[in-house]
A and B are shown apart, each in its own frame.
Chain A
Amino acid sequence: MTKEPETVIKLSEIVRTYNLSAEPVYALRGVSLEIKQGEYVAIMGTSGSGKSTLMNIIGCLDKPTSGTYTLDGQDITTRSDDELAAIRNRTIGFVFQQFNLLHSMTALQNVMLPLVYAKVPKVNRKVKAELALSELGLSSRMEHKPNELSGGQQQRVAIARAIVNSPRILLADEPTGALDSNTAREIMGLFNRLMEEGMTVIIVTHDPETASHAKRVIKVKDGLIQEDTL
């Protein structure tokens, strides 16, 4: 691993429009961007800037209207919904502002869920999920339901769920938005650790404090990249 880190994400001339009325609304007007393996990137922008659309496209939840997106060497702009689901499952780990855990399930079951869809055998599933939870300091909270956990603990369960399937990319949408500042700092520390372990971390936020943890900040405005600290 002495070589130049490979490019994981390559966006070229990505345009995304919404046809809500007769006039198409431009969310992205031609975004080109490269993110390399192991980078720690913050995507910043105000509400309506297009950063959420950019995140959805990077996260394979949405498809661009035009332009190409190469993820992990594969062109994914032409993939079907089911293929995108499989790519999300294997390559991307999501962390959300509202944690988005399933409330009827325990922490362990929540973390096991991506492995269920990845068709990992049952025995391995439990081992992997327990390992991920332990790494995040939740070994004593595995059988708790989300509503029995604090906000910071819930976000750590969500991170465990995001990384349990060893994805290339961790995509976090306002991960500290629902947390107090101490807990927020703790969570950001976790992202740092994951980045040091070699994971590509992308954080979408409007908060400069959160973005300051990242090595590279990309500012989005009016559907275009306004500034890239690379």
Chain B
Amino acid sequence: MKSLEDISELLAIAWQGILSNRLRSALTVLGIVIGIASVITLLGIGQGAKLEAEKQVQSLGVNLIYVRPGAANLSSISQGQGSAATLTYDDAQAIRETCPAVEDVAAQYNSGFQAQYGEQNTSTSVVATEPSYVDIRNFYPAKGRFFSNTDMKEASRVCVLGETVANNLFGATGENPMRKQVLIRGELFEVIGVMEHKGVTQMMDMDDQIFIPLTTGYATLVGLNAVTGKQVKSILVRAKENEDLQAQFQITNLLRLRHNIQNPDSDDFTLRTQADIMQTAQSITGVFSLLLGATAGISLLVGGIGIMNIMLVSVTERTKEIGIRKAIGAKYSEILAQFVIEAVLMSLTGGILGIGLGVAGASALSQFANWKTDVTPASVVLSFCVSLAIGLFFGIYPARKAARLDPIIALRSE
């Protein structure tokens, strides 16, 4: 069994075996087709979800650090974020002025309000923030402009609408939102811009927001807290290129100093970086992929057992044939090879068809169901190898059974 001709010979013999019972072979192959196709498609979905999550995290902006009030853990009891109103606008200013690794800072205070224009009203999130927000978030107006430092200084009654909000308020009438007065909690704000489409990132609809200057927010919607001063809900920080770690270190130290914290366990603020968020997203999509893969793996296993089952039936049915072949000179290895190759041919055929079907299925899901899928070459190669392995693994036992048959007994069978 060394030369190429011998191998093609064995392939031809095995192929004849497969063709001798077409329907049964086709159904057996179908089991593998379904298994491999689901592996390819489900891995594609998993990979697509992972890429999508990464893309969303990327779109939050580069080198982003979130500073939020409240401790993540206090003596191993989670206090929950925002459980303390400890972060102030002054903290944000201090970070901006004193941390050398920090490029830019945007404090923000957001809360839910009703916004109204004419007959239309919508419940949305009003974000009072600073002009630097757009650069940090990598999120810009599509129409008009974002508010300026002048707007901040003068606490202008201006607002920038998210895409969804603009549609909710102006979509029905088809009016141009620019220069219109929108009513938020009894106060009028002039629309000076509409943000570009951003979509949902981190389970937050970036388009369902209204942006106003932070100072305007304090003057009209939030009011000042006598104890804590100008409280903020979070501070967005963009670190300088490749200085994320320094920035985190500097911010942590600065805030501990300002808040008189000696024991790091009693930090009243939390830093989260893009890497943290990415990690969370990856671990979630990782579990997701694993579950999908396991499901597909089970169907593949069932397909493999189908091959073994059919090969066993085939060996029993073809006992006489095996006897004849042995009588006229087939060796153990030749009978073994015949049946193993038959199993491998079936599983490989199933594998190749399954890869085709899986790729088609994944692209159909992207096309029609709008799911992000990504079939990697690695998953194709993996599927191919797995189908080869299944044929070998589930084919070897029936083939051994065939090759070990006593020719006399085999010849006598009907």
Contacts and interface: CB of A to CB of B under 8 A. Distances in A.
Output the residue of A88, A89, A116 with the most chain B CB within 10 A.
A116
A118 B329 contact: yes
Contacts of B5: 121-122
**In terms of DSSP, what is the predominant structure of the interface of chain B?**
helix
A113 B408 contact: no
Interface string A59-99: 10110000000000000000001100110111000101000
B13 interface: yes
B326 interface: yes
A104 interface: yes
Contacts of A161: 328
A85 B320 contact: no
Nearest to A82: B331
Given A61-B407, A94-B328, A117-B331, 16 more contacts: A81-B332, A85-B326, A86-B329, A88-B327, A88-B329, A89-B328, A94-B327, A100-B327, A102-B321, A102-B324, A113-B325, A113-B328, A114-B328, A118-B329, A122-B5, A161-B328
A-side interface size class:
20 to 34
Contacts of B332: 81-82, 85
A121 B325 CA distance: 18
A170 B6 CA distance: 27
Nearest to B13: A116
The 4 closest A-B pairs by CB, nearest first: A89-B329, A104-B20, A117-B329, A114-B328
B411 interface: yes
A42 to B, nearest CB: 21
Contact of A61 (B320, B327, B331, B333): B327
A56 interface: yes
A89 B323 CA distance: 13
Nearest to B10: A116
A3 interface: no
A105 interface: yes
Contacts of A90: 329
Contact of B16 (A89, A100, A105, A119): A105
Contacts of A85: 326, 329-332
Contacts of A116: 9, 13
Contact of B411 (A100, A114, A165): A100
Contacts of A89: 328-329
A158 B9 CA distance: 22
Contacts of A81: 331-332
Nearest to B324: A100
A165 B6 CA distance: 18
B52 interface: no
Interface of B: 5-6, 9, 13, 16-17, 19-20, 320-321, 323-334, 407-408, 411
A112 to B, nearest CB: 11
Given A61-B327, A117-B329, A96 B411 contact: yes
A122 B5 CA distance: 9
Contacts of A118: 329
A102 to B, nearest CB: 6
Nearest to B20: A104
B408 A61 contact: yes
Nearest to B8: A122
B19 A104 contact: yes
A90 B16 CA distance: 24
Contacts of A113: 325, 328
Contact of B408 (A56, A82, A100, A122): A56
B399 to A, nearest CB: 16
B266 to A, nearest CB: 80
A171 B320 CA distance: 18
18 contacts: A61-B411, A81-B332, A82-B331, A88-B327, A94-B328, A100-B323, A101-B324, A102-B321, A102-B324, A104-B16, A104-B19, A104-B20, A113-B325, A113-B328, A114-B329, A116-B9, A121-B5, A161-B328
A119 B334 CA distance: 12
Interface in A104-139: 104-105, 113-114, 116-119, 121-122
B6 A117 contact: no
Contacts of B19: 104
A61 B412 CA distance: 12
Contact of A117 (B17, B320, B334): B334
Nearest to A121: B5
A209 B331 CA distance: 36
B268 to A, nearest CB: 81
A105 B20 CA distance: 9
Nearest to B329: A89
B59 to A, nearest CB: 61
Contacts of B408: 56, 61-62
A64 B391 CA distance: 38
A88 B327 CA distance: 7
A194 B196 CA distance: 94
Contacts of B326: 85
Contacts of B328: 88-89, 94, 113-114, 117, 161
